[in-house]
Amino acid sequence: MPDFPHQASSEGFSSQLENFSLSPTQAIANNQPLEVVVHGNAEEYLDLRDTFLLLNVKVTKRDGTELIMPVAAKPNAQPPVVAVDGHKVAPANLEDAKDSYQTAALYYKDHGGTFEVNNPIDVKARSEYGLVKRFGRLMGSGDRGCLQMFSKLHADLFNQSHLLINGVTIKLLLTRSKDSFSLISSEDDADYVTSVTQATLYVKKRASRTHASNRSKNAVYPIRRTEVKTFTIPTGYRNANIDQAYIGQFPSRLILGLVSNESYNGSYKKNPLISNITTYLTYPFNSMVKVIQPLL
């Protein structure tokens, strides 16, 4: 029995001795979804809260030249679809890219009045601006235009602390957003693309010696769901009534964000992660629950 420096330490060995298994590989095609399948085994549980995604990306023009500025949260510009044993628990949602971007890699805080700035050269003297810092990372040492980002998966199932029981297979489908959504440029004829050169999913497995006594019971996973709904307000309307925004279970928290259709659909000159609520909402906002207006 080897001596460990700590009782919680696990035994390790050189990668040259791993002769009985190969790392899963898959070719990456541009603009195609990334699909990852994590097969369950009979002995180990999965710690979903410690699941991370590593992306190697390259930003170029369509002819392979020049560079531009990425937005704050590139890893989360790929909303995940999560399926457990063939059952979807997190459906496709193109709004997920804006849910939890503050904890993503490549996020640097922007200052007031600079959220819509799309040319880092104009504010280069202010080195603390998030736009300038992201531009510096992109144009820094090494291969220009190449970035490596490491981020957690922001899906409801991965935000709970319970371990996923053994023998359960997880399938992840990450769909890429448009390049005009995840990149910012001040050029009128911007035509830039992002290529994912390598993607690696890190999953932590834990051995459980007590699972045998729980096989006769159903596994229960309490999940705090986050749902994003979109509503379109036609141009020129001074008011909007949204009837039956939620049917059934009431949400515990309601967050309102207002963005322009141009930035929401993808524009190189617009930042889709910025909600200009003070610009658009110049009149009172009222909400009704069961035809009763709560105090706001």
Picking from 174, 207, 240, the residue at the C-terminal end of a domain is 207
Q: 147 φ, ψ to 5°?
A: -135, 150
Domain enclosing residue 268, as ranges: 227-295
141 and 178 together in one domain: yes
CB 205 within 8 A of CB 44: yes
pLDDT score recorded for residue 234: 81
Q: Does residue 52 carry a pLDDT above 80? A: yes
Q: Which tops the pLDDT comparison, 3 or 100? A: 3
CB-facing half-sphere around the CA of 285: CA atoms within 13 A: 12
Model confidence, pTM:
0.63
Are residue 244 and residue 178 in the same domain, yes or no?
A: no
User: Are 202 and 234 part of one and the same domain?
Assistant: no
Q: What average pLDDT does this structure show over 214-240?
A: 76
Domain closes at, from 153, 178, 207:
207
Number of domains in the chain: 2
pLDDT single digits (tens) 15-42: 555 544 555 566 676 667 788 888 877 7
Q: In this structure, are 171 and 29 located in the same domain?
A: yes
Percent of the chain with pLDDT over 70: 56
The answer on 270 and 155 residing in a single domain is: no
**156 and 286 part of one domain:** no
The reply to whether 5 falls in a domain is no
Quick one: pLDDT band at residue 287, thresholds 50, 70, 90?
low
Q: Are residues 132 and 165 in the same domain?
A: yes
Q: How far apart are CA 45 and CA 164, in angstroms?
A: 6
